[in-house]
Structure 1
Amino acid sequence: MPVRADRDVPGLIVKFGDYPLHHGVVGAIRSLGRLSVPMYAITEDAYTPAASSRYLRKSFVWPTTGAEDPGRLVEGLLRIGRPAVLVPTDEEAAVLIAEHQDELAGTFLFPRVDPALPRRLASKQGLHELCVEHGVASPAAAFPRSYDDIVAFADTARFPVVAKNREAFVRRRRPAVNGTTRIGTRAALLGLARDWGEEPGVILQEYLPHEEAEDWIVHACFDQDSSSLALFTGVKVRSWPPHAGMTANACVVGNPELAGLAARFIKRIGFSGIIDLDLRFDRRDGQYKLLDFNPRMGAQFRLFENDSGVDVVRAMHLHLTGRPVPQGEQRAGHRYVVENIDLAALLAYRRSAYTTPHAPARASGTELAWFAGDDPLPFLTMLARSVRPGAKHLYQLWRTSRRGSTSTK
């Protein structure tokens, strides 16, 4: 059954914050645009890769930080004033839409959900509590409220441990750590904690050693009854930064056990819409442990498509516009590569003990995050905008190496 989208209902990509090099945004624009759905997007400026896509009808240039007053953001969305399916690409956008759905519903289409649920899922503490409540495995975790709590934790913890910002929204305003941070010793933890203030906004988590694990991902879209419209599973081959960052290379691998685990969890919590889950299979106890729950489209969602041509973004648009969602098998063995980060990830993983025994030896097909023959400009724009940050990074590495060599003379 071919995918037949409603071409009278546009899609609007909603993102808050300054991160112009986002391949997921480009993927969503292409996915619906190739079905002749008119596409619009909020962009940082007029020269982002997304803004250069041939499938984008118009970009709304709206520089934001993600830390603005929610009322101001809602007003800005309503000023766009185009009836459209909203496609959030970050936690800030997903939470804003959920918490202000009554105000937005007159203009936009989006899955209706418990207004408090996306914020709780995006919170590391909220997700951990939901996992405990519903019997889903997750790493052991502590949520210190003071420096003394951290000292008490350090006295009994088994190092290394992992520190993460407790709430997704803190990363924009006052991040305690720059993403997932592995801390090797008690002294290192206490040293970092001195800068976290009187109320440290962190979660301290059990470290799951990558040499004893395999990283899996689940992308899915659920209807108002929390029943699956499309559900896919795959294995993460490489990420950047290594073992803790964005997917750089991944493959579609069927995993009925994992699919069932995800579907049951979604049913119990009553979520509707698109999800992106990161799980780590711990070989030591044979459990899939939920690390992250993104209540929105994931950047690598284009890895997954069924043999009817449906991905999670298409599934949501079809469902919200009253169209049937064609079913089908996922593209087993398909590979997804993020060109601008996978080479660095490949070099890092050569020194790693991490393995992915479930990944196919040879991919059945490859989708690139940036380059597409029918839409080449986003790739070229990405390259142009990467030159300056890349050069700055290399210069910083050079300065660091010179200081190191000077100090040894």
Structure 2
Amino acid sequence: MAELTYEDYKRRLSIQELLVDAGYRLNRRDGLRYPSYVRIDSDGRRVRGDKFIVTANGFCCFQPPERKNYNVISFIKEHPHFFAEYTPGMSADRLVNLVCRRLLNEPQEIRETRIFNPNKNGKPFDMDEYDLQAFRMDDWESQKKFYPYFKNRGIDLDTQRAFCSHFFLASKHRTDGKVFTNLAFPLSLPAWPGKQIVGLEERSRPNAEGKTAYKGMAAGSNATKGMWIAQLNSHRSDVGFNVPLSGVKDVYWFESAFDAMAFYQIEKKETVAYADLGNAVFVSTGGTPSIRQFAGMLEQTPDANHHLCFDRDQAGQLYAVNFALQMNGRVFNSHMTKKDTLVVTDLTGKYGRTELDVRTFDFEAICKELGLEKGRIDYRPPSEGYKDWNDQLMGKRMDEDKEQENTEERQTRFRR
């Protein structure tokens, strides 16, 4: 197989060829001296404001009114959703290679790790490979084993007891004789919450500096459809859940189980309404949420209110918008650019592409701009100055200088 570099791609592929592959057509009205490419909707009409102009050297293009030039590499990286090979979360360099090799009719690169151990990646999650230790309400000795995992997170014993049916210690024996034990939050499918474990969201015991050395998913976990689903005090129920998902009043969404537990502990201390959380479920997507996770939970909770408690950063903001798009039945692609711009491509009916400045993120305004019914969605990130709910519980603020800078920017823009 030929080894190709980025220079090979830029030399052998024209930007015009790439624009055509991305779904654009030559606009002959603008002439051929500086060719322009436009997108056509389902009715055969131009999509206003969606045009790229090829530069004089023929190797780059730009999208008015901006003058930023894209070559074949940067165009793919900045507009990944234009290409069939793109899947959310994939490496931009990987996407460049896949698209360019296809256009050059070159055989696709095969990763050596897959050749070296072809069975490893395809092996499904097997709970029988783990020895489990439960947190038992009537056994103080069993509870003490969990202390090191929760201490540095500030999660107290009452909170652990409230969620104790939804975590355990999982030990795995390696072939070299070593044993590794992690705090595990079981993943299950929304259609069968708690009935069949399809993976584990794992956290290691903190090191001497108090930092968690490992966090991730157990091998073979179905993290695309599975998620951590928890209900308060469900140890009191013989069936594992006091209220079936179809009957819950509220669903609280987080990126990690630790954040969900921290949120509960904060709510319990700061409000008197936490008792209502008994008719709610807490879910963790274990990182970047997938469309299948959203769809699976929405199908099972048709009448619930959904509280989006994702991190207070651009990734968390993107997840909130993606959820609203999914709840409104949209077919879409979305991504954040390096210039604090949220790009949403709506493929539901007619092609629509919207760019939104998110330096001052306003969830309700964005929903209105995209024509989304906010309905039963409550956008609820951590308080100003905190990245996630566990940081808020610990009083660990983001960089205060940066936060002040953001506040001044918001005030300046507000006065305009």
TM-score (norm 2): 0.24
Decide which structure has the larger Cα Rg and report it.
2
* Greater RCO (CA < 8 Å, at least 6 residues apart): 1
TM-score (norm 1): 0.25
